[in-house]
Amino acid sequence: MSHFVTPFEVSSKVLAQPLKVRFVQVASGIATRHSDTMDCVFLVDGQKVMVAIPCATLSELREHDRAYLHDQQLADIAAAYLRSLLERGYDPTLAELRLSGEELRLIARQLGYL
């Protein structure tokens, strides 16, 4: 699945050298972690970082906005979210990020998915 998101580098405000980011997978957190999320996993300079997208937010988008986001779009949204956090100085050793409904909608609109 690594072809979902092209590997990229991010320059951080707090680090001297760019961070290399590679997408690994998107999977159901329900099955793997007993979490009601869709998990997008990345490697940031070899460190595993997970962006968790709540299933409740995805259900709300389907019910209220009639928006159906597929795995590719979720991976793109998670990558954009991770990129923005890394640029602002997020510490990639903190392994899990949770994307809020508001942030998901904002990024999805920016990417033209909503």
pLDDT tens string 26-64: 998 887 777 889 999 999 999 999 999 999 999 999 998
Band the pLDDT of 17: cuts 50, 70, 90: confident
Who wins on pLDDT, 91 or 45? 45
The two three-digit tokens of residue 56, written as one number: 């409740």
Which residue segment(s) compose the domain that 11 sits in?
Answer: 2-110
* Residue 91 pLDDT exceeds 90: no
Q: Specify the number of domains making up the chain.
A: 1
In 10 A of CB 102, how many CB atoms? 9
* Residue 95 pLDDT exceeds 70: no
Using CA atoms, how far apart are residues 61 and 14, in angstroms rounded to an integer?
35
The two three-digit tokens of residue 89, written as one number: 């100085």
Residue identified by tokens 């972690």 is 33
Assign residue 90 the CATH number of its domain: 3.30.160
The two three-digit tokens of residue 35, written as one number: 């979490």
Band the pLDDT of 3: cuts 50, 70, 90: low
